A and B are shown apart, each in its own frame.
Chain A
Amino acid sequence: MRSKFRKLQGPPKAAKHGKTLARLVVVLAAFCLAPVLYAQQSSSDDTETISPVPILSAGLAYNSFFQGGTQHVHPLVSPVVLIPLGQNWLVESRDTFEIDLAPDPVTGNYKGALQKEVDYLQLDYIASPYMTVTVGRFLTPFGIFNERLYPVWIRDLQTDPLILPIATGPSGAGTGAMLRGGFDAKPGIEINYAAYFSTTSTDTPLDSQRMAGMRAGIFLPGPRLEFGGSFQHLLQDDRSNAFGFHAAWQPSALPFDIRAEYARSHTGSGYWVESAYRLSQAPMWHSALKHVQVVGRMQQYFTGVVPDDNLPPVNTHMFEFGLNYYFRDDLRFVSSYGRQFAPQTNMNVWNVGLTYRFALPVGHGDIR
């Protein structure tokens, strides 16, 4: 359906817009880099004396979901490779290998196919203290969940927010170029931004959509408050727009955080609000409770004018409560209960599992 739509009205305009955007990105990059190149050469100091070493890391998870009375076993491995080159370059990639094992309705045996995805495979050039140029396949910087909270060892609840596919699509990634960075606007106020252009790719597992967009945010390190907005314009199909807002707060006095996102596009709209509290300040049973984290999430999704297979077919809202136990900072037991409300399809969603993450140096590095 989508490819037919693209054939009917896509190519001539898309090619024209693609060239214009490509020129725009090149000109902007050259313009933006010029004033800071001199400073970059001059500000090289002893903070860069440690030679970085390549790293192999991975997030692993073994989850068991009970969704509407059906059990799904979901093992996942997500290796991350980081290869620093010189002082200003970084090659980074993350792949995901996962299987959703569910009982066969006839035999009762658990079956599932291995799903492979290249989440990102990108080359970063730290062009200045304020800007990094990225080319390749990158996570779509729309909101904060897809780029920063998605890894299984980071997320507090193992289920995805309902609105996650809005503007990020099924793959959550784009293929093209991106400018991004962060800087101090003034003491106590940091601004971060990302602007990107992605081209169409239909090759699994590198699929992506033709789109351009940006995200900008403000972070106040004092109160640890962050908020921002995202915008995306689809350069294929119906050339629709999507926008969203995000906010996060981690008060320094409490091991507590609250995060929220709102997103809207032609495929639907919705929000999620999630809060987590680590019981490290509990007055009793401190040695045991300091490892425990309590999580809650509330979310709603409203259908849009264009149906999307990756989004719920009807208006849906859901609440979830989770309990996580950190054996170490890289190994934890996760559990949650959620109730999903949708016309004629109310159901419970249970989850228990383990998540683990490791990081190993690869090869040699030296102190210069």
Chain B
Amino acid sequence: MKSWRIAFLGLLLLPEGFLAAQNQTQIASNNEPASTAKPAVVQSDEDALRAEGEKRFHANCGRCHQAPHKFPPRMMATIVRHMRVRATITDEDMRVILHYMTQ
């Protein structure tokens, strides 16, 4: 009877150790100054982000259904939040897909 509870507990706690570490890394990367990038570099980054968004969009949305057409940005923000919960999409995937779908 206790074994499944231990497994339940283990599953929940397993990710937390390195998630905290990942948080710190993400915070550090978020705090890096973006203003130092030159416009051409920014454009290149934007293209790369869009390409990455398209890739993640097809990889994640295609797991369950045909890729839908784009909705208005405010609707996409809700839909992506819904799909984040429903399909357990990662936070990073959600952000990149939302960026791609609202361009």
Interface residues, chain A, CB within 8 Å of chain B? 24, 28, 31-32, 35-36, 38-39, 42-43, 45, 47, 50-55, 82, 84, 90, 92, 124, 126, 128-130, 132, 134, 144, 147-149, 153-154, 179-185, 190-195, 212, 214, 216-217, 219, 221, 224, 226, 231, 233, 241, 248, 250, 252, 257, 278, 326, 329-330, 359, 361, 365-367
> Are A195 and B8 closer than 8 Å at their CB atoms?
yes
> Are A154 and B65 closer than 8 Å at their CB atoms?
yes
Q: Which residues does chain B contribute within 8 Å of A134, judged by CB atoms?
A: 85
Q: What is the CB-to-nearest-CB distance from A135 to chain B, in angstroms, rounded to a whole number?
A: 12
List residues 57-95 of chain B with CB under 8 A from any CB of chain A. Answer: 58-60, 62-69, 71-79, 81-82, 84-93, 95
A-B contacts besides A195-B8, A221-B59, A233-B4, 10 pairs, CB < 8 Å: A43-B30, A47-B95, A52-B81, A84-B77, A84-B81, A128-B19, A153-B65, A216-B11, A248-B63, A326-B66
Q: Which residues does chain B contribute within 8 Å of A181, judged by CB atoms?
A: 88
Q: Which residues does chain B contribute within 8 Å of A82, judged by CB atoms?
A: 78-79, 81-82
> Are A191 and B15 closer than 8 Å at their CB atoms?
yes
> Are B82 and A90 closer than 8 Å at their CB atoms?
yes
A28 to B63, CA, bound (A): 30
> Are B64 and A154 closer than 8 Å at their CB atoms?
yes
Q: Which residue of chain B lies nearest to A45 when distances are taken between CB atoms in the complex?
A: B30
> Are A43 and B63 closer than 8 Å at their CB atoms?
no
Q: Which residue of chain B lies nearest to A28 when distances are taken between CB atoms in the complex?
A: B12
> Are B78 and A226 closer than 8 Å at their CB atoms?
no
- Does B38 have its Cβ within 8 Å of any Cβ on chain A? no
Q: Which residue of chain A lies nearest to B25 when distances are taken between CB atoms in the complex?
A: A39
> A53-B78, A191-B15, A226-B63 given as contacts; is B92 within 8 A of A184 (CB)?
yes
> Are B90 and A190 closer than 8 Å at their CB atoms?
yes
List residues 17-70 of chain B with CB under 8 A from any CB of chain A. Answer: 19-20, 22-24, 26-27, 30, 56, 58-60, 62-69
Q: What is the CB-to-nearest-CB distance from B28 to chain A, in angstroms, rounded to a whole number?
A: 10
Question: Which of A47, A126, A359 contacts B75 (CB under 8 A)?
Answer: A359
Which 9 A-B residue pairings sit nearest by Cβ, starting from the closest?
A129-B91, A39-B23, A192-B88, A52-B77, A365-B74, A182-B88, A52-B78, A53-B74, A35-B20
A144 to B88, CA, bound (A): 11
Q: Which residues does chain B contribute within 8 Å of A43, judged by CB atoms?
A: 23, 26-27, 30
Q: Which residues does chain B contribute within 8 Å of A216, judged by CB atoms?
A: 11
Q: Which residue of chain B lies nearest to A220 when distances are taken between CB atoms in the complex?
A: B59
Q: Which residues does chain B contribute within 8 Å of A132, judged by CB atoms?
A: 84-85
Q: Which residues does chain B contribute within 8 Å of A250, judged by CB atoms?
A: 59, 62-63
> Are A36 and B7 closer than 8 Å at their CB atoms?
no
